[in-house]
Amino acid sequence: MSRRVLAQPIEAEEWEPFGWLPRRDSDALDGSQTLHFEWQDPHANLICHRADEVPHTSDGLVCEMFFHHFSHTQALLVLNCPAVIAVAPASCTFSDAGDLDFIRAFALRPLDSLVLHRATWHWGPFPVGAEQVDMFNVQGIRYAEDNECARLSDLGEMVEVVPPPPES
């Protein structure tokens, strides 16, 4: 493994370079950031990621690639189990291994929600200790037309995402 990234609890300040965390409607800052759909194609659905979609190590999960969408923001709500997500700023090109220094990972619990800024690179969320993480998802319905992939193996690299230890 080329790099290890420890997943930290998701908090608004640490998440800010990558998106924002939805706020309660009673929060004075609610609505200060909004979703963007360049193609006017917002769509809500249920999605999942399975544990068997990614390789595992004794300590974590292997991030082999990142994806991003230029045309829209994406909102996720984790429904059923702990999960991890890895992200990198939109400014990364993954044309050299130096961009791997900007990767961050976050631990998510059921009912954690997040919004990804347009073009934020992301991997997951993938389940921790479960076969599948289910999520409520809001993104452009034509996302497949705007789904660039950066394969870390093209850099001769892989990233191990290490979740926090289970809560006791």
pLDDT per residue as tens digits for the range 41-76: 999 999 999 999 999 999 999 999 999 999 999 999
To the nearest whole number, what is the mean pLDDT of the chain?
A: 95
Q: What does pTM read for this prediction? A: 0.95
- Cis, peptide link before residue 125, omega less than 30° from 0: yes
- Please state the domain extents for the chain: 3-22+36-162
CA-based torsion, 168, 1, 132, 135: positive or negative: positive
The per-residue pLDDT for 116 is 98
Topology given in CATH for the domain delimited by 3-22+36-162:
Jelly Rolls (2.60.120)
Q: Which two tokens stand for residue 128?
A: 């921790």
- Tokens 């409520």 — which residue? 136
Length of the chain: 168
